[in-house]
Amino acid sequence: MSIDTGTHLGRYEIRAKIGEGGMGEVYLAEDAQLRRRVALKILPAEVASNQDRMRRFNQEATAAAALNHPHIAHIYEIGESQGTHFIAMEFIEGVTLRDKIHHDKAPLAKLLKYLTQVAEGLAKAHSAGIVHRDLKPENIMVTRDGYAKILDFGLAKLVQPPTQTASGDQALSEVATAMMQQHSLPGTVMGTVGYMSPEQAQGRISEIDHRSDIFSFGCILFEAATQRKAFEGKDTLDSLHNIVHAPTPQIREVNPSAPDELQRIVRRCLAKEPEKRYQSIKEVAIELEELREEMRGPSELHDSVHQTASGAKATTSGQTGIHETMTMGQQSGASSEIERPQQTSSAQIILNELRRHKRGSVLALIGLFLIIGGAVFVWQRFAGQKAAGPARTMKIIRLTSGGRVNNAVITGSTSISPDGKFVVFALTEAGRQSLCMRQVLTGSNVQIVAPAEGEFLGTTISRDSEFVYYVWGDRDNPRAVLFQVPVFGGTPRKVLTGINSPITFSPDGRRFAFVRYSEDQIGGSLMVANSDGSGERTLVTRKGNDIFYSDGPSWSPDGKVIACAAATLKGGLSTTVVEVPVEGGAEKPLTSQKWLLGLHRVVWLGDGTGLILTADIQGTSGTQLWFISYPEGKARRITNDLNGYGTFSLGLTADNSTIVTLQEDPSMQIWTTAVNEPSSLPRQISHGKIDGARGLDWMPDGKIVYVTEAGDSPEIWIMNADGTGSRQLTADTYFKSDPAVSHDGNYVFFTSLQSGTPNIWRINADGSNLIQITSGDSADYAPTCSPDDQWITFISTRSGNSCLWRVSVDGGEPVQLTDKPATRAFFSPDGKLIACGYFVEGAKPPWKIAIVPFAGGQPVKLLDMPQSGNFWAGFWWTSDARAFFYADTQNGVANLWSQPVDGGKPVQITNFSSEFISNFALSRDGKRIALSRGHSTSDVVLIKDFK
């Protein structure tokens, strides 16, 4: 029986009926408490009245509700009101995949993009032990901004009719479900003949597992390529017979233009016996992504948006052995499944760098490169660059699973011993870091450095595999200290102070090299010292806008040169690898390859024939592994998959057989919450992969402007405060960050790399009339608009340090505001003062919250801020100018705090129990806050047969 519009079921108000299906009637409703639209599914009376079926349904639905992934429609609540049982689910605006295939006749490449996203969503569910059981095109929605979302996870049992207790009757229920009348309503839950696995079709209930979903996925792949069902018959029984007995159909017989590789993938998905199918849907996702790369011509841009973050990945923890092995080719990756709140955004990365280097000019400059490089999030590929990968025998072995060891989160600093027996990595729990050693063969773990408040800045295992050398920074060691500890643990021994990178040993193990920054050497120096810390010697120093990266140098096997990542801003940002003679001489490029964004740790192969490194590229595929041949200097990609790889976390065994690194996967979405309304609950309004992580701001009318990767590049979008009406404002494929809206709402200012160097640009609020505001070889970034809409403040390296400057909203000659390194400025309501992060040499801690006159000059007030505070997220003034809000991460959880301007005690204003805050913005009326919050997940992996 239909429910009238305006009826209330609990806190939900019925707005309209949008269909009905096997699960019952479906309504569009408004959640009065959280102010969001939901799909409300009313359970049939015969289901609700059957206690056993309701029990089974609640078990399935509760498990499915725990899933949090950008490509899975979320279940908000399983409820009951006035005798009516319902499920409140995410309401998705878009069309079904069936519509995309048969009505829109979308290109195969586009359909494969959606199905790659679906495979990632399935991988998340399967890792949680949840099987869909009814995967079909109707249960996949494609949103208006290009996201695929899977509906109704794990709920297929709901529509099974009551069965007898005999096992045979129970088995037949699955077939009976399949033969029920089908509906076209998105989200209808029932086993569907055209997509059932053979074990489902035969009623072999006990054999149904995640591989049944893989079979269904193969059916959808076939249909995407041919617009026909794989096992279509004259009637239901004929279709069931074909599923069980008919050979796998040939795609090329229907669509001769389809790639042969797709037929191979479909054939493995559609194997009759589960043991002969892919054993992990993640493998399918990886091979589909590889196929998509191969389908692109050399003149095309990489279709790099995967939007496949693993969501809130907390499925398996404390694994003590090698969990999974995958065999794959050019694109390879295993899912990374841990919370990693400490390193989930460019904001947090710059803070880590600021804590790491502790020296004014260096801090902000290195932070700049990491911000521009995007750290975890700014992953963009060079247009038209075709990846050249290794042989198809490459294997990725997951050494950890669930991202945790002994309940602590894996956070980086990973290395492997030359003999391949030991792997070392850092762990974080409750804001304290420890160091763990894992024996590869036995899977046993040993804590070798006890937890403490501070940060591991890189690890190296000695040539004889006896000792671990680690760089540590904390309040008592602001310049960072190198320690030595036995590989099985013991008392750490201090070796040397003032080290800003992991070390690398000479071939004989008697010396090591490292990078050091100091106030008068802004670009950093490449140094060598004896193994006991004595005999320091400078090899070469970079100055000005030329820098050495701090991720770690590498000593060549012949002992003659040291390779190190280096970057320059002159003529546009670019990074490469240079080699420096050990016995003296000028540095020179080791390769002609240039990376627009970040380049990280470099490791020589043991035979000296090349190097392995990690680099951010122009695209959203993450920080990937590369190989550079030596001495030729030719560069090629080793990985090209859906995950990113660690920066400080890279090691190689002496026989070149195994790489150790981290696989990383971020997930950040936009939430809103009210200010000073305790009863108001935060509300998630976006469901992308990294929404707002690189910046967001409010329009005067309450809309939200933000940066996301909902297309082929990070672009600026705008949406309503409830998440509806999203619209793209820019589409030029260049890196963008830090959108700032003028107070009259006419302009959006932002950082862009369109000129080859970070500069400030401006567009009208409708996305038109792009204008460059600043120019030059120095980097300009992080704009903020004054309340009178006459000025823009921004950070610039024009003076050598990353200081605050201002310029007219129409451009012109910039004026310097501070003579010390600073972070993004935020205006007081009257426009006379700005709040920013400010570096004070010699202070503990050195970074303060500064209140600076907008007219320029020294700070009028300096306030302490927790070391765990996110300076880059900023300091938003309250409307009465008595306080400002900032983000702080305590015990691994980020919340917003209010700091009184008079120096009083900070007050917590949000009460999140998980996740990290990357960015936030206060609405113009000061009543609401928009936040980009989420996490990044990581696991230690071994990569074999990569050459």
Rounded to a whole number of angstroms, the distance between the first and last alpha carbons of the chain is 64
Place of tokens 């074990």: 199
Cα 308 → chain centroid:
8
Question: Beta 791-796 vs 803-808: how paired, if at all?
Answer: antiparallel
- Specify the amino acid at residue 460: T
Cα 222 → chain centroid:
30
> CA 225, CA 578: separation in Å to the nearest integer?
46
Bridge partners (DSSP) of residue 613 are 602, 626
The pairs formed by 882-891 with CB atoms below 8 angstroms and a separation of 24 or more are 884/826, 884/835, 884/849, 885/909, 885/920, 885/922, 885/929, 886/849, 887/917, 887/920, 889/341, 889/342, 889/348, 889/431, 889/916, 889/917, 890/431, 890/866, 891/430, 891/431
> CA 689, CA 143: separation in Å to the nearest integer?
14
Total count of residues recorded for the chain: 947
> CA 122, CA 136: separation in Å to the nearest integer?
13
Question: Beta 847-853 vs 861-863: how paired, if at all?
Answer: antiparallel
Report phi then psi at 694, rounded to 5: -100, 15
Q: Contact at 8 Å (CB) between 355 and 473? A: yes
DSSP one-letter string for 360-407: HHHHHHHHHHHHHHTTTT--BPPTT-------TT-EEEES-STTEETT
CA dist list (Å): 881 to 250, 832, 911, 921: 69, 11, 23, 16
Q: What angle do CA 673, 674, 675 make, to 5 degrees?
A: 125
> CA 376, CA 367: separation in Å to the nearest integer?
13
Helix 167-178 to helix 236-245 angle, to the nearest 10 degrees? 110
The answer to whether residue 722 is catalytic is no
DSSP one-letter string for 670-705: EEEEESS-TTPPPEE---SSBTTTT-EEE-TTS-EE
CA dist list (Å): 312 to 332, 643, 812, 829: 22, 15, 46, 37
Q: Contact at 8 Å (CB) between 226 and 254? A: yes
Bridge partners (DSSP) of residue 90 are 38
> CA 524, CA 906: separation in Å to the nearest integer?
37
Query: Smallest Cα–Cα separation from 537: which of 513, 565, 562, 502?
Result: 513
Active-site pick, 31, 99, 104, 134: 134
Query: Smallest Cα–Cα separation from 269: which of 231, 222, 215, 229?
Result: 215
Query: Smallest Cα–Cα separation from 227: which of 206, 246, 254, 203?
Result: 254
> CA 317, CA 404: separation in Å to the nearest integer?
5
- In angstroms, how far apart are the furthest CA atoms of the chain? 86
732, burial (CB in 10 Å: exposed 0-12, middle 13-18, buried 19+): exposed
666, burial (CB in 10 Å: exposed 0-12, middle 13-18, buried 19+): buried
The pairs formed by 104-108 with CB atoms below 8 angstroms and a separation of 24 or more are 105/227, 108/224, 108/225, 108/258, 108/295
Report the b/e string of 165-195 with b at 16+ CB within 10 A: eeeeeebbbbbbbbebebbebbbbbbbbbbb
Q: Contact at 8 Å (CB) between 501 and 554? A: no
245, burial (CB in 10 Å: exposed 0-12, middle 13-18, buried 19+): exposed
Which residues belong to the active site? Answer: 134
